[in-house]
Structure 1
Amino acid sequence: MKMRFFLVACLAMFCILEVCQGGNLRKQFYKKTCPQAEQMVRTKIQEHVSGRSDLPAKLIRMHFHDCFVRGCDGSVLLDSTATNTAEKDAIPNLSLAGFDVIDEIKEALEAKMSRSCILC
């Protein structure tokens, strides 16, 4: 049941991404430069979803909030600085969750990139 929910949530998120990005996203973007990238993301998300069944909905909500303000650019993932309050810290976004998962995936991909991948 959890896996089915996860798959439906992922499908919904990819449909949203397709609309927000005008179809520029595509599977296997890093196929030549880092063939393990998509599988690494998939595996990390599955690890987290197995213990947090609410995670797919939270990630979709995070994506919606990112796309709503200035387009789907990942700006909601940026941290505030001493001179700039980030979108993440705006009042409507304070209830967002799942940043820990995104950060973990990013760290895993960066570690892999430094060892064996060349990403543009």
Structure 2
Amino acid sequence: MKDHPFPEEVLLLTAGDGVVKPGRLPELLSVVQADLSLRLQEYREHHECAYEDDHLVAFFVAADHWPAIADRLGFETGAVDATRSAHARFLLGLGTDVDRTDEFETALDVQDCVVIEKTAA
């Protein structure tokens, strides 16, 4: 059982970038997901909600947000780049599902995002 909400397609596309080994990406996403899920209420209070359904919520965050996550979790540059990319790709996929792709692409030109699974422990 995986401990993150990312679909296989997002994993394959992100792993294809070659920033981290493909087998490491699910582990990194699980670690980030565990950290973010503990901060869900903080995200709700301080960040713009980009998308929400019964299982997921995505927030737009400042461009310097991911380095702060990397520092907190002890991630090297490649690990944070891969997880950031996976979150952006996932949001774009969600945007396709709800016909908001252009909106999300434009927003991601100037800011980043995080996607949090509501049921993650």
> What range describes the TM-score normalised by the shorter chain of this pair?
0.3 to 0.5
**TM-score, length basis structure 2:** 0.38
Bigger-Rg structure (1/2):
1
Q: Compare the two structures and name the one with the higher helix fraction.
A: 1
**TM-score, length basis structure 1:** 0.38
Q: Compare the two structures and name the one with the higher strand fraction.
A: 2
Structure number with higher relative contact order (C-alpha < 8 Å, ≥ 6 residues apart): 2
